[in-house]
Structure 1
């Protein structure tokens, strides 16, 4: 089954304008843009047939082409990354069995997260969308709680049933635990990793569905699938001891730079 990875990137982010061009220093102090680091993460994934950046901004296009990325221009009217992936896929003329949305603000995404996600979708032919979830240790959970206490948007959390189908996603920390955890403790909270794998039919239908109240309130694109009664498969991935964090706020830059340094990523 052929796989296309699309990295949606827009310039006019409400919380963090020009975020794809934010500079992150690696282990040696080398500075690379967020979108470059996300591209590098995508290129490390095995079994992928093509990787493209989908954007509506010429500044991002020029920055990406400067380091050799393939770029597909999309409309400014795209409401979120899934809509942008749908338009990019259509502009490319289709031709892939699975489309992966590797969001441009997750440069620490390990290659095996995406590989396991694609394998999960392949193993469930009745499922049209899948997304990875990562069990939080106490350190990650405490970081989420600190962000919420400070009024910052931290990571998204997910709850799912015994069949691994999502029940809900939220920017709040769910489920409620009611107790403190040490940094190395295993917790019942799952971090939703911002990657999706779609079958083309679901991706094609998505832009035509109305934006529902839950998607509006949470600002989470995957809730549109749940509001349309399309099950979302949650594929649990193993962090293998590796720290993972998305760049949601300017305050996340030093945190991610610290992880890059710890991992020895240039």
Structure 2
């Protein structure tokens, strides 16, 4: 499960690239009750989504040329420079070379061989998000991949993730990813990888990571999210053994999901 006791390879930060930060802050305030705290004049418009004074995510203006609205998952690394080399050796791409963020930490922006964007965070004074696995906070990360086998090989090589497959019916498998480093017997699963089906590939779907946020009532949160301008992608549905989930895009077009219940279990 996700935890704030971050280990290498586990998600430790999450931010939203938005064309209008104020509009994004207003939307997520309505959906999750988040408040926005600016990083200050030196932050270039970047700021933090907070819940009861604790940082649960972040948001900033679109900074990369050609970038569209999207949530970016960051994974913990002890050495961002070394991870970038590993990414390139494994067939990925470094979009933004490692850079220091004042004294908070060091980041790099990357793309895996299937085309999914992600990032790494090397902690400095900021180790990561303050809280996860609570209502209105990050509870799972998921990759829809054009080539799930290639994605698993890549992340296994770069982050030493291990995978456990669970059947989604027919030949469809869901691969649960775990990062090494926690104590014996601890549940280290933090995300999943799912192969995009042929109809989605034919329609032009590309690989992407997206976050799941925990909610106490999936239907109510979905209603709120759509009433405030979100676009439905998957209406609330029960997933046996997992809970009730839904997926949508925020008003700017960034996809995210809601989950009422536990994250996937094999």
Give your verdict on TM over 0.5.
no
Q: TM-score, normalised by structure 1?
A: 0.30
Higher RCO by CA contacts (8 Å cutoff, separation 6 or greater) = 1
User: If each structure's helix is expressed as a fraction of its own residues, which one has the higher value?
Assistant: 1
User: If each structure's strand is expressed as a fraction of its own residues, which one has the higher value?
Assistant: 2
Q: TM-score, normalised by structure 2?
A: 0.30
